[in-house]
Structure 1
Amino acid sequence: MSKEATEFLPFRGIRVLDLSQGLAGPYATQMLAMMGATVLKVEPPQGDWGRLMGLRREGHSTLSVSANWNKRAICIDARTEGGASVLKRLASQSDMVMESFRPGVIDKIGLGYDVLNELRPGIIMGSISGFGQTGPYAERPGSDSILQAISGMSVMNADAQGNPKRVGMLAVDMITGLYAGFALASALYQQKLTGEGGHIDLSLLAGASAFQAMPMMESFLQGGQRSAHVTVPSGTFEASDGPISVVCLRNEMFYGLARVLGHPEWQQDPRFSDNESRQRHATEIHQLIGQVFATRPRAHWIDRLNEVGVLCGPLNDYTDLLRDPQVQSLNLMPEVSHQAFGKIPFPKFPGVGPSVENLRPAPGLGEHTCEVLREAGYDEERISSLVSTKACFQALTKTDN
């Protein structure tokens, strides 16, 4: 892709008021920010609870830093009259408002969709909750781990002994954030075409369910039984110096694997004649393959298997990934600077977006409060009053007295 294409920022000029916390909502709005939107991150005095998750340093966490690049931050106490009035003014100047409160909370602070649409006709509102706005679970809090459990993801990810296992990252939050980003971008397109807005409602439960469409269908069609393998051979095998992942999607791949492993006779073995037969003999064939893989280092096998078109790769940790020659060639993990964490790798946003050197670091709590208030039309006297009455908070910086 050309440099001009990677600098394309389709949402330049769009203003987003981000009231969401945690990961799903902030990640969705970060996607818009990466594509040019002006995103104001609004936090209460105690801050986004995401600032408490993961490795923490100087009021930041790895969670909050991963989901809030290219945003500015304002700190508002919406429980005060002054704070509530600031929120309404900012909302009236926005094309979109994003929130992730429990159902009903946004109405209590006076920014439900009907109110927003009166303030700014055609506005878009995005909501992310654990279980949706209605139903018997609507009022329940939802977390990634709980949604992995309820949605079947932990069972789907069970180990070889059938013990359910949580995916070792905030998978449901990230997935829902991605779905939300797409939905919000689609709503912005409609808004541009027709002038109409709307309320986009998403839940972690819906995100987790949609993401698992394939294994869910297979479970239904198999009476609730897990599929051991979609295709055989497929899995992780131990080479002499470490694990390697191998997948054979078609007979041609299996034939290539058999030749590389020195067993061309497997091509004529009726147990291995097609994927259905190989599925019935999966344990046996995986054992045979594993015995051969153990005799050579994985670099040998990866080179040979790639020559015959068999899908394969080493099992990398993140350090390995950063050193991977293909990752380095594409500059997928450029180094960025953050005030709390220093130099850190930051995975590139796929597709359109700014160059790394143009990224605005994830902000501190209330880092841009006074700046944002000035842009919203408040004079210095009113800003001083809002800060002194603790309706708004401006973070101190190294240059402050």
Structure 2
Amino acid sequence: MPTSPTDLSCAPYSGLRVLDLSQGIAGPYCAQILWQQGADVVKVEPPDGDWGRHVGVVRDDQSALSIAYNVGKRGVCVDARQARGKTLLADMAGRADIVIQNFRPGVAERMGVGYDGLAERRPDLVYVSISGYGPDGPYAHAPASDSVMQADSGLMYANQTPAGEPRRIGLLMADIATALYAAQAASAALYQRARSGRGQHVQLNLFQACAALQVNDILAYGIAGEREAVAVSAPNGVFPTADARLSVLALNNDQFARLCRALDRPEWLADPALSSNAARMAQRERLHREMAEQLALHPASHWEERLSREDVLHARVRDYDGLAAHPQAAHLGLLEPLAQPGGTPLPYARAPGAAARRPLQAAPAIGQHTVEVLTEWGVAPAEIQAMLQAGVLRQADAGKESL
């Protein structure tokens, strides 16, 4: 398996302090990507925790969603509804290199951690704000979720059935895409700070991120005036074999010729009705019917060998067990064991491209590192204890700490 350095001196953000005030997916995943690049990420949660902890499949009081986007962070629990907690939160933000929040417009300001107030004290601060629709405008305060955004931004339209029925994409696509754009924009802001010493207020919203994700389809619609829910070439589809399903396609004449050789179909090559992609698109139903009949005669392994021999574009349609068993997944170390409380290690897929591969650390319990982090960040021990006793802070019980 290829390896990458584990020495954090190789990581570009080693020593960088990130204060993650966000909840859910877009903000937390942005912060988690920065952790994978070497940053020290402190996750601050209210006493009830990030709402993402309780959504979907849950193990040991933490959902798969919460684990996925908070691996490696250190957890601090602060009740910012109390005056002392609000003051502490602002003090922590003033000590960070990056602050990430994804509240609705105005909430961070009411919590005392809005950009303007912090930037007066720290003009070099990189501050990332993620919202649903942006800081102002007619939809600025509208509630937003991944499903809402997939509907409102055209993603469901892009994923319509051949009959034209809009469908939600079966991933948290709006949130995940926004997180990736946010991590890139934060990196650009850090580069600007390194050159000029100036910080930046990075503002993103899910609505814009979903539009950017669809730029090609939006342009194609602008040219054609409509969107057809069909493939761009033929043959191009998923076909059942005797024991599994294969995705098989040809994008141009050369690839079609290779497919004809793999399937032993010289008559297709000689057919003038199949001489170009446009012609083949007109014959798509015929091609797909004949391919489906042929591929169903033998197991997937038989066709994979023939298609690979001719370098035809194809892949077995896999579930997640199939992904784990993929030979290339084993070679790359694609799914790493994550020791997370509550059971056996879980398979974790890192963001690609990191210069150093940090050892994985479990996503924290609520307030798991409260005392450790605040002591490290310069809060007096007596003050920490007083706030713990007053319920302003929470330190997780030892039994809730990560392995």
In structure 2, distance between residues paired with 1:152 and 1:219 = 11
The correspondence of residues 222-301 of structure 1 with structure 2, limited to 5 A, is 222-301=224-303
Moved over 4 A (4+): none
In structure 2, the CA distance between the partners of 1:105 and 1:86, relative to structure 1 (3 Å rule), is same
Deviation at 1:353, TM superposition (A): 5.2
Aligned residue-pair number: 399
| Matched residue type, 1:225 | R
| TM norm structure 1 | 0.95
Kept in 2, the 8 Å contact 1:59–1:365? The answer is: no
**Aligned-residue offset at 1:162:** 2.3
Unmatched 5+ residue regions in structure 1? none
Q: Distance in 2 between matches of 1:278 and 1:15?
A: 56
| Distance in 2 separating the partners of 1:321 and 1:9 | 28
Instruction: Judge conservation of contact 2:247–2:317 (CA < 8 Å) in 1.
Output: yes
Report what 1:138 is aligned to: 140
What SS does structure 1 have at the residue aligned with 2:399?
coil
Q: How much does 1:306 deviate?
A: 1.2
> What whole-Å deviation, never above 9, does each CA across 1:110-147 have from its counterpart, x for those lacking one?
21111111221210110111111111111011000111
* Alpha-carbon separation, structure 2, partners of 1:299 and 1:166: 32
**Other-structure match for 1:25:** 27
User: Is the Cα contact below 8 Å between 2:261 and 2:310 reproduced in 1?
Assistant: no
CA-to-partner distance for each residue in 1:284-336, whole Å, 9 max, x for gaps? Answer: 22112212111111111111111111110110000111011111122111212
Corresponding residue for residue 48 of structure 2: 46
Separation of aligned partners in 2, 1:146 and 1:226: 23
Q: Residues 6 and 352 of structure 1 are in contact (CA less than 8 Å); yes or no, is this contact kept in structure 2?
A: no
Structure 2 CA distance, aligned partners of 1:301 and 1:352?
36
Paired amino acid for 1:232: A
* Matched-pair contact (CA < 8 Å) for 1:21–1:49: yes
Matching residue of 1:191:
193
Distance in 1, Cα, partners of 2:127 & 2:84: 23
Following superposition, the deviation at residue 341 of structure 1 comes to: 4.2
The Cα shift of 1:220 comes to 2.2
**1-side partners of 2:26 and 2:365: how far apart?**
19
Amino acid corresponding to residue 215 of structure 1 in structure 2: D
Aligned residue in 2 for 1:107: 109
SS at match of 2:42: strand
Measured against aligned partners, the alpha-carbon deviations of 1:52-88 in whole angstroms (never above 9, x if no partner) come to 1121122211011000112101111111111011111
Give the corresponding residue for 1:360.
Answer: 361
Q: Which letter maps to 2:14? A: R
After superposition, residues 123-162 of structure 1 pair within 5 angstroms as 123-162=125-164
**5+ residue gaps, structure 2:** none
Change in 2 beyond 3 A, CA 1:3/1:353:
closer
Report the more deviating stretch, 327-336 or 220-229: 220-229
Q: Secondary structure at the match of 2:339?
A: strand
Task: Please list the CA deviations of residues 271-295 of structure 1 after superposition, one character each: whole Å capped at 9, or x if unmatched.
Answer: 2111111122222221122121111
Match of residue 311 from structure 2:
309
CA pair 399-64 structure 1, distance change in 2 beyond 3 A? closer
TM-aligned CA deviation for residue 39 of structure 1: 0.7
1:175 equivalent in alignment to 2:172: no
Q: Which amino acid aligns with 1:181?
A: A
Query: Aligned residue for 2:202?
Result: 200
Cα offset, 1:2, TM superposition: 5.8
Query: 1: distance between equivalents of 2:248 and 2:12?
Result: 39
Tell me how large the CA RMSD over aligned residues is. 1.7
TM-aligned CA deviation for residue 355 of structure 1: 3.6
- SS of aligned partner of 1:362: coil
Q: Which residue of 1 aligns with 2:395?
A: 394
Please give the secondary structure, in 2, of the residue aligned with 1:283.
helix
Q: Which amino acid aligns with 1:220?
A: G
Partner SS, residue 40 of structure 1: strand
SS of 1:398's partner is helix
| Native 8 Å contact 2:132 2:143 kept in 1 | yes
